[in-house]
Amino acid sequence: MPGNEYLRVLHLSKTYGAGQEATHAIQDISFTVDRGRFLSILGPSGCGKSTLFNIMAGLLSPTGGNVLLNGESIVGKPGHVGYMLQRDLLLPWRTIEDNVMLAQTLRGVPRRQVRPRARALMQKCGLAGDGDRYPDQLSGGMRQRAALIRTLLTDKDVLLLDEPFGALDAITRGKLQQMLMTLWEENHKTILFVTHDIEEALLLSDEVLVLSHRPGQVLEHLTVELPRPRRSDIMFTSEFLRLRSHLSDMLTREVT
C-alpha cells in the first residue's frame, strides 16, 4: 500500500536480561510512517532509540511486538533498510571510493556498475576529489558524508540514521543537514533520524516522535507544518519557536 502506512511499528518492547538484572529499554512503542516522510526520533539519552533502530534493522529480537514494511514483518530479517550509525564505520584500509561502494561490491555487484552513481553522489556531496584517499586522511564531516553516501547506495527505500551528525561541530553539522535535506528530496527515501537536538529535529523533519525516559514509550507524535525547502533562518519563525518551546518543555520534564 504505497503512500499509506508504509512502515508500521506495532507494540514494540525490549527487555535486556531477566529478573533483578532486567533492563526495560522500550515498552509498547507504536507508530506509523508514510512512504517518503522524514521522521525524527527525539528522546533523552538511554530511552532506547538505538534499541528501536537495531530491532527495525533486523539485528536485534524484540521481547514483543512487530515491525511491518509494506505489510511484511521485517523483525529478525536484516537487509530491508539502510542503517547508518553515529560512528562512520569506514574501513581504514580501503579508499573512500571503495568504502562508499562496499555494500554493493559485497553483494557481488560489479564495481563498474556502482562506480558512476558513487562518483555522482561524491561530487554532489563535495567529495569528488577524495575517492582515492583513506578515511584517516579526511575530517569527521567528510567521513560522515562518505558514510551517508554508502547508506544511500544500498538502494533501500527506508534509511535509519542514528545521530549521524552528533559528533560534528555546529558549522559542519549545518552544512550536512542542508546536504541531507537535498539528498532526501532528490532520492525520495523514507528517513528515520535519531537525534537529541530539538532544532535539528524541527529543521529536518515532517514528523517528530518524542520518547519518554527509560523504558522508552511514545510521549507524542507531532507533525511539523513548516514550509519547505527549509533554510536555517526558519529557526527564527514563530511556528518554529513555538514547537521548540513545546518539545523543550516536554523533554525537560522527562529528564527531571
* CA gap 135, 64 in Å, rounded: 39
Shortest Cβ 67–ligand ADP spacing (Å)? 15
SS3 category, 50 = helix
**C-beta of 37 vs 49, nearer to ligand ADP:** 49
Residue that is written with C-alpha cell 523504558 in the block: 215
Question: Contact letters (x/-) for ligand ADP, 39-68, by CB under 6 A?
Answer: ----x-xxxxxxx-----------------
Grid cell, residue 30, equals 507504536
> Residue 16, interface with ligand ADP (CB under 6 A)?
yes
Question: Contact letters (x/-) for ligand ADP, 164-203, by CB under 6 A?
Answer: ----------------------------------------
**C-beta of 17 vs 116, nearer to ligand ADP:** 17
* CA gap 121, 124 in Å, rounded: 5
**C-beta of 88 vs 97, nearer to ligand ADP:** 88
Shortest Cβ 196–ligand ADP spacing (Å)? 8
Shortest Cβ 197–ligand ADP spacing (Å)? 14
* DSSP run (H or E) holding 46: none
Residues 248 and 241: beta-carbon distance below 8 Å: no
* CA gap 135, 32 in Å, rounded: 37
**C-beta of 213 vs 230, nearer to ligand ADP:** 213
Grid cell, residue 198, equals 530539538
The amino acid present at 87, given as its one-letter code, is R
Determine if the peptide bond prior to 164 is cis (ω within 30°). Answer: no
Residues 200-229 that bind ligand ADP (CB under 6 A): 214
Query: What residue ranges bind ligand ADP (CB under 6 A)?
Result: 16-17, 23, 25, 43, 45-51, 214
